[in-house]
């Protein structure tokens, strides 16, 4: 792989690129979908590709493709150099320089990702469905139960001396349970688990969680419209934390598109909220020794003691801002240019157990699900209004289920209104890769009946 | 051009059925594209793509076995076929020899995007930037993106069926940021189609003007109201309401799993007499149109609601077989790396008799939702949510102050039943629809539509 990347770099400089970087990947993937006790689909596939960034002076272009034979590689390299000619000059554009610091060696694979036979992973998905059906008679079925896993190999090389390679595996299982209440109304509930290999997944827990979430919603009505305290379940908290991580990217800030612009050092959150981006967390699904342009990953304190400590930088935004990269260049595989993004966002845990968090809330709403995040949030202003469902909180305890309402605030106000973080965190694949406990928010607008 | 010789397809399909299966299909594709952006006054991120690959699926009873590979080399396709067949333990079948496929464009492409020099594409972006910045001193940032893509596909199945399509799409989008003191607002506009460069090269300034107008208007916006009220939904992209509140629930996969509120409801009266709606994958040059779907079935115009009655679900071939129906040409996939799913194409409400002015004048107090940032639905419950990207208050039958932060939330059948007027100002817009991890281009359309009562979630209680 690294040889392939190096040959692509050579091909790009040979056709006139002053600098070049190549990103090569090879992956094998497997997915099983089951429904009604039967396998609905079984997918086994391989995927490979190459993306080349070529600089001509301070202009940069990109090309990618799937033909990794010699001529194919040369064609991709030539297209990248050709694309660069369409770009404007940008004084900060240039390849990352190696820091001299070696990338850490990390164990990111689990052998069961490949050694488990197709029948074994199918059985795992079937076990998820069975667990959902068995855990409550009101569960009438699941939309489907899914197992998906992939094993990836990544190599990056550049004319500036970057050269690195790593392997990682990841998998998940999920199901959406359907529960029927009196009168035939249907409710849904999601259960999921993530790991590096199927051997570490807990199918029973996934099924039980989906069933519990679906049945909890039976008989849900609309809550009264009001301004009140809100407890966010970790899956919901993760979605919001992911949005906040996104607007802490230096590109959004530098281009005047972040509500957190010019707020470094300022108090932006309640003391209860501690937020790190950690690309090296051994448990983190998004961990890797180096980022999408070969810069060594690290742990970056974003919010501590209520104050905003730093933004996240890739090489380009770091040069533009006169600082060092935080190793935050993300990449959607070989098909995408590197851009600033979070790795694993980690929210610090607090002292309160879940019941204590509810007691602290007193009267309010416990939100277990949100919908419409991609349309209901303005990332430039941070203003949001999204669909939600969950449970009412009365007298410090969970009460009746509620749905078809919206919660609204803006990301800056919401962050400032975090009163407490729960004591137990969970890894959630929504909003990127986030580890977070439930969060108690002092005030949000709830619009229902 | 021919992507793949029928002899190779037949050999691979026979290998795929070597251990049994009802039928097998080979889907070959070449995807090429170019995109470039302008942001912060600078042209950046020019990129080109070329991906070639194929997938094979074998359907055996209710189960589908699937795999994909990069490249179209015969040994790789045969190895893929072997791998896909592994899970079966039945008698071998032979695949019939398919006819040769020569994919051709179904719609006119007056100017092939790949023949247009990059400078002209960049010039579109600069024109948008200049126009948007000229719209007002409060415009502080402009970004614009041009993208073109071509997908040449050839589809062969073991019954000897073969089909092809040569699809070219272009899209231009503009985002404008406006600022007044601490207030920052955005406006967005896009145009695109299953067409050549001509679709975006004519008057790109209109997009920039529209995006700038939205951003500037929002600077004066008041917080959105909350509660139940009448909502007038704008034409064009307002059709995303139909897409989310109804369309996803008509996709046969959800229906057959009883994970749709519309399961078992064909023939039921769900809306007023004057409500009719279609899914039409054949509208010439529209963003969601193709000559054939991704299983080779010719696309068609399907009436989904007629005179207020639910008339049809949307099928791909697997779900059509299961439901003893015919495919409606809705088997779509993002690429050769994906299994086809029942997906909408261009979905729209037929124009009504009213005028948009009638709808507004007939509303004493409510919300005018001109455009949406997008939406989402849970088909099993019918619950949906839309973010309103441009909205105004309606007071005393007149459009008054712009509002910000409004979200519409409701339930599909309830919203459909509550439509009390449809206007005649029909328009289609482009969207990208995500489902099951796959994104496909879809068209949404309608004239102005009024919903008698709906929940608006705002920041104001």
Residue A198 lies in a domain: yes
- Do residue A211 and residue A231 come from a single domain? no
Calculate how close chain A gets to B371, using CA atoms only, in Å: 11
- Do residue A250 and residue A394 come from a single domain? yes
CA atoms of A424 and A353, how far apart (whole Å): 7
This prediction's pTM: 0.92
Residue A221 lies in a domain: no
Residue A257 structural domain: 226-447
- pLDDT given for residue B250 in this prediction: 97
Structure tokens at B47: 């990129």
Q: CB–CB of B373/B406 below 8 Å? A: no
- Do residue A90 and residue A10 come from a single domain? yes
- pLDDT given for residue A380 in this prediction: 83
- pLDDT given for residue A103 in this prediction: 85
- Do residue A124 and residue A188 come from a single domain? yes
- A406 vs B378: CB contact, 8 Å cut-off? no
- Residue B276 pLDDT > 80: yes
The mean per-residue pLDDT over the stretch B141-151 comes to 97
- Do residue A237 and residue A382 come from a single domain? yes
Calculate how close chain B gets to A106, using CA atoms only, in Å: 29
- pLDDT given for residue A160 in this prediction: 96
- A372 vs B386: CB contact, 8 Å cut-off? yes
Q: CB–CB of B330/B343 below 8 Å? A: yes
Q: CB–CB of A5/A156 below 8 Å? A: yes
Res. B1 pLDDT band, cuts 50 70 90: low
- B44 vs A178: CB contact, 8 Å cut-off? no
Calculate how close chain B gets to A262, using CA atoms only, in Å: 12
Q: How many CB atoms lie within 10 A of CB B41?
A: 13
- Residue B251 pLDDT > 90: yes
Res. B373 pLDDT band, cuts 50 70 90: confident
Nearest residue, CB atoms, A38 vs list B44, B62, B122: B62
Residue A188 lies in a domain: yes
- pLDDT given for residue B317 in this prediction: 96
At B64-103, the pLDDT tens digits run 999 999 999 999 999 999 999 988 888 889 999 999 999 9
- CB < 8 Å to B42, chain A: 88, 90
- CB < 8 Å to B459, chain A: 383, 385, 408-410, 445
Residues 73-112 of chain B whose Cβ lies under 8 A from any Cβ of chain A: 83-84, 86-87
Residue A236 lies in a domain: yes
Q: Which of A177, A198, A216 is the last residue of a domain?
A: A216
- Do residue A298 and residue A398 come from a single domain? yes
- CB < 8 Å to A389, chain B: 383
Calculate how close chain B gets to A340, using CA atoms only, in Å: 14
Q: Decide if B262 touches A, using CB distance below 8 A.
A: no
- pLDDT given for residue B312 in this prediction: 97
- pLDDT given for residue B460 in this prediction: 66
Residues 142-171 of chain A whose Cβ lies under 8 A from any Cβ of chain B: 143-144
* Beta strands B162-180; B139-157: pairing state: antiparallel
DSSP characters over A202-232:
-HHHHHHHHHHHHHHTTT-BPPPPEEEEEEE
Among B140, B385, B391, B434, the strongest candidate for a mutation testing the A interface, having the largest count of A CBs within 10 A, is B385
Q: Decide if B361 touches A, using CB distance below 8 A.
A: no
Closest chain B residue to A36 measured between Cα atoms? Answer: B257
Among candidates A338, A348, A350, which has minimal Cα distance to A303?
A: A348
CATH assignment of the domain containing A25: 3.30.2290.10
Q: CB–CB of B310/B270 below 8 Å? A: yes
Q: CB–CB of B293/B315 below 8 Å? A: no
- Residue B261 pLDDT > 90: yes
Q: CB–CB of A61/B47 below 8 Å? A: yes
Residue A263 lies in a domain: yes
- A408 vs B376: CB contact, 8 Å cut-off? no
Per the DSSP assignment, residues forming a β-bridge with A161 are none
Residues 15-34 of chain B whose Cβ lies under 8 A from any Cβ of chain A: 34
At B153-183, the pLDDT tens digits run 999 999 999 999 999 999 999 999 999 988 8
Mean pLDDT of chain A: 94
- CB < 8 Å to B68, chain A: 43, 45-47
How many contacts, defined by CB atoms under 8 Å, are there between A and B? 256
**Domains, chain B, with CATH or none:** 6-218 (3.30.2290.10), 222-457 (no CATH)
- B43 vs A87: CB contact, 8 Å cut-off? yes
Res. A431 pLDDT band, cuts 50 70 90: confident
- pLDDT given for residue B310 in this prediction: 98
Calculate how close chain B gets to A338, using CA atoms only, in Å: 10
Reported ipTM: the value is 0.91
Residues 318-337 of chain B whose Cβ lies under 8 A from any Cβ of chain A: 337
At A380-429, the pLDDT tens digits run 888 888 899 999 999 999 999 999 899 988 999 999 999 999 999 999 98
Res. B377 pLDDT band, cuts 50 70 90: confident
- pLDDT given for residue A317 in this prediction: 97
Domain count, chain A: 2
CA atoms of A259 and A407, how far apart (whole Å): 19
- A376 vs B184: CB contact, 8 Å cut-off? no
Nearest residue, CB atoms, B68 vs list A45, A62, A410: A45
Closest chain A residue to B65 measured between Cα atoms? Answer: A42
Closest chain A residue to B376 measured between Cα atoms? Answer: A372
Rg (Cα) of chain A, in Å, rounded?
24
- pLDDT given for residue B457 in this prediction: 84
Residue A253 lies in a domain: yes
Q: Which of A169, A192, A216 is the last residue of a domain?
A: A216
Res. B152 pLDDT band, cuts 50 70 90: very high
CA atoms of A446 and A365, how far apart (whole Å): 8
Choice among A137-141, A338-342, B372-376 with the minimum mean pLDDT: B372-376
- Do residue A132 and residue A246 come from a single domain? no
- Do residue A118 and residue A184 come from a single domain? yes
CA atoms of B132 and B324, how far apart (whole Å): 53
Nearest residue, CB atoms, B70 vs list A66, A375, A383: A66
Rounded to the nearest angstrom, the gap between the alpha carbon of residue A364 and the centroid of all alpha carbons in its chain is: 28
* Beta strands A307-308; A299-304: pairing state: antiparallel
- Do residue A199 and residue A253 come from a single domain? no
- A65 vs B50: CB contact, 8 Å cut-off? yes
Calculate how close chain A gets to B353, using CA atoms only, in Å: 31
The mean per-residue pLDDT over the stretch B299-322 comes to 97
- Do residue A236 and residue A144 come from a single domain? no
CA atoms of A50 and A62, how far apart (whole Å): 11
At A360-378, the pLDDT tens digits run 999 999 999 998 887 778 8
Q: Decide if A263 touches B, using CB distance below 8 A.
A: no
Mean pLDDT of chain B: 94
- pLDDT given for residue A264 in this prediction: 94
List CB contacts of B366: < 8 A, sequence separation 6 or more. Answer: B229, B230, B231, B232, B393, B394
Q: Which of A216, A250, A268 is the last residue of a domain?
A: A216
- CB < 8 Å to B372, chain A: 375
Residue A392 lies in a domain: yes
Closest chain A residue to B80 measured between Cα atoms? Answer: A45
Calculate how close chain B gets to A409, using CA atoms only, in Å: 6
- pLDDT given for residue B374 in this prediction: 76
- Do residue A206 and residue A346 come from a single domain? no
Nearest residue, CB atoms, A188 vs list B177, B378, B458: B378
CA atoms of B244 and B387, how far apart (whole Å): 12
Per the DSSP assignment, residues forming a β-bridge with B30 are B52, B152
Closest chain B residue to A226 measured between Cα atoms? Answer: B461
- pLDDT given for residue B116 in this prediction: 97
- pLDDT given for residue B461 in this prediction: 56
Q: CB–CB of B289/B299 below 8 Å? A: yes
CA atoms of A61 and A83, how far apart (whole Å): 5
Rg (Cα) of chain B, in Å, rounded?
24
- Do residue A280 and residue A177 come from a single domain? no
Choice among A223-227, B245-249, B371-375, B392-396 with the minimum mean pLDDT: B371-375
- pLDDT given for residue B397 in this prediction: 96
At A29-71, the pLDDT tens digits run 999 999 999 999 999 999 999 999 999 999 999 999 999 999 9
Q: Between A70-84 and A2-14, two packed helices, what is the crossing angle to 10 degrees? A: 50
Q: Decide if A271 touches B, using CB distance below 8 A.
A: no
Q: Strand, coil or helix: what is B72? A: coil
Place of tokens 């975090």: A418
Q: Decide if A317 touches B, using CB distance below 8 A.
A: no
At A134-147, the pLDDT tens digits run 999 999 999 999 99
């Amino acid at each position: 792989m690294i040889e392939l990347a190096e040959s692509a770099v050579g091909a790009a400089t040979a056709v006139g690129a002053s600098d070049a970087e190549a990103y090569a990947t090879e992956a094998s993937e497997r997915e099983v979908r089951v429904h009604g006790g039967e396998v609905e689909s079984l997918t086994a596939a391989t995927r490979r590709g190459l993306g080349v960034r070529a600089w001509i002076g301070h202009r940069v272009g990109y090309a990618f493709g799937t033909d990794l034979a010699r001529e194919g590689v040369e064609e991709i390299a030539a297209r990248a150099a050709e694309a660069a000619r369409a770009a404007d000059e940008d004084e900060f554009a240039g390849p990352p320089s190696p820091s001299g610091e070696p990338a850490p060696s990390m164990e990111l694979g689990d052998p069961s990702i490949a050694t488990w036979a197709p029948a074994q992973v199918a059985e795992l998905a079937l076990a998820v469905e069975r667990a959902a059906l068995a855990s409550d008679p009101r569960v009438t079925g699941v939309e489907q139960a899914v197992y998906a896993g992939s094993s990836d190999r990544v190599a990056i090389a550049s004319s500036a001396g970057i050269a690195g390679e790593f392997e990682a595996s990841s998998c998940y299982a999920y199901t959406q349970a359907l529960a029927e209440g009196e009168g035939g109304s249907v409710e849904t509930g999601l259960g999921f688990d993530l790991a590096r290999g199927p051997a570490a997944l807990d199918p029973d827990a996934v099924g039980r969680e989906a069933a519990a979430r679906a049945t909890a919603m039976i008989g849900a009505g609309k809550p009264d419209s009001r301004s009140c305290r809100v407890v966010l379940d970790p899956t919901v908290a993760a979605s919001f934390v992911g949005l906040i991580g996104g607007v802490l990217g230096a590109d959004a800030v530098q281009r005047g598109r972040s509500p957190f612009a010019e707020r470094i050092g300022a108090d932006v959150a309640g003391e209860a909220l501690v937020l790190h981006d950690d690309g090296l967390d051994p448990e983190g699904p998004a961990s890797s020794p180096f980022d999408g342009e070969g810069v060594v990953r690290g742990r970056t304190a974003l919010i501590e003691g209520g104050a905003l400590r730093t933004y996240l930088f890739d090489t380009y935004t770091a040069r533009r801002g006169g600082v060092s990269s935080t190793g935050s260049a993300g990449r959607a595989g070989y098909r995408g240019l590197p851009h600033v993004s979070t790795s694993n966002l980690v929210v610090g845990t607090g002292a309160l157990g879940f019941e204590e968090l509810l007691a602290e809330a007193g009267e309010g709403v416990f939100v277990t699900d949100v919908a419409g995040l991609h349309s209901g949030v303005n990332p430039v202003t941070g203003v949001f209004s999204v669909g939600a469902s969950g449970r009412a909180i009365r007298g410090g305890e969970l009460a009746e289920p509620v749905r078809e309402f919206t919660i609204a605030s803006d990301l800056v106000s919401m962050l400032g209104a975090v009163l407490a973080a729960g004591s137990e965190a969970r890894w959630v694949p929504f909003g990127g890769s986030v580890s977070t406990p439930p969060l108690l928010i002092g005030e949000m607008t709830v619009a229902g009946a | 051009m021919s992507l793949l010789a029928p002899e190779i397809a037949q050999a691979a399909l026979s290998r795929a059925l070597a251990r049994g299966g009802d039928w097998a299909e080979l889907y070959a594709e070449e995807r090429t594209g170019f995109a470039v952006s302008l942001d912060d006054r600078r042209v950046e991120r020019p990129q080109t793509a070329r991906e070639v690959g194929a997938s094979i699926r074998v359907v055996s009873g209710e189960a589908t076995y699937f795999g994909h590979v990069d490249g179209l080399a015969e040994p790789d396709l045969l190895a893929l076929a072997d791998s896909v067949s592994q899970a079966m333990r039945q008698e071998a079948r032979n695949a019939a020899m398919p006819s040769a496929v020569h994919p051709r464009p179904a719609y006119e492409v007056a100017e092939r995007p790949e023949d247009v020099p990059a400078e002209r594409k960049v010039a579109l972006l600069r024109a948008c930037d200049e126009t948007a910045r000229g719209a007002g001193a409060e415009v502080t940032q402009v970004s614009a993106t041009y993208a073109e893509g071509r997908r040449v596909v050839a589809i062969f199945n073991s019954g000897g069926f073969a089909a092809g399509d040569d699809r070219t799409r272009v899209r231009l989008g503009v985002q404008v940021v406006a600022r007044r003191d601490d207030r920052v607002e955005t406006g967005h506009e896009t145009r695109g189609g299953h067409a050549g460069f001509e679709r975006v090269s004519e008057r790109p300034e209109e997009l920039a003007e529209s995006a700038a107008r939205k951003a500037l208007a929002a600077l004066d916006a008041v917080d959105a109201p909350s509660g139940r009220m009448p909502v007038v939904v704008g034409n064009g992209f307002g059709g995303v309401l139909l897409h989310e509140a109804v369309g996803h629930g008509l996709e046969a996969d959800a229906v057959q799993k009883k994970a749709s509120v519309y399961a078992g409801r064909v023939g039921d009266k769900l809306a007023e007499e004057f409500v009719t709606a279609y899914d039409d994958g054949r509208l010439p040059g529209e963003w969601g149109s193709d000559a054939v779907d991704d299983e080779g079935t010719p696309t068609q115009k399907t009436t989904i609601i007629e005179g207020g009655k639910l008339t049809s679900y949307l099928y791909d071939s697997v779900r059509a077989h299961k439901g003893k129906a015919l495919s409606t040409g809705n088997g779509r996939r993002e690429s050769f790396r994906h299994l086809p799913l029942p997906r909408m194409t261009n979905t729209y409400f037929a124009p009504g008799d009213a005028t948009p002015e009638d709808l507004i004048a007939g509303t004493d107090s409510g919300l005018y939702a001109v455009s949406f940032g997008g939406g989402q639905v849970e088909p099993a419950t019918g619950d949906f949510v839309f973010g309103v990207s441009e909205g105004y208050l309606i007071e005393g039958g007149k459009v008054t102050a712009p509002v910000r932060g409004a979200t519409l939330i409701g339930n599909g059948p309830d919203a459909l039943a509550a439509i009390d007027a449809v206007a005649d100002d029909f328009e289609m817009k482009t969207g990208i629809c995500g489902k099951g991890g796959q994104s496909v281009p879809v068209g949404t359309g309608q004239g102005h539509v009024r919903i008698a009562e709906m929940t608006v979630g705002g920041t104001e209680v």
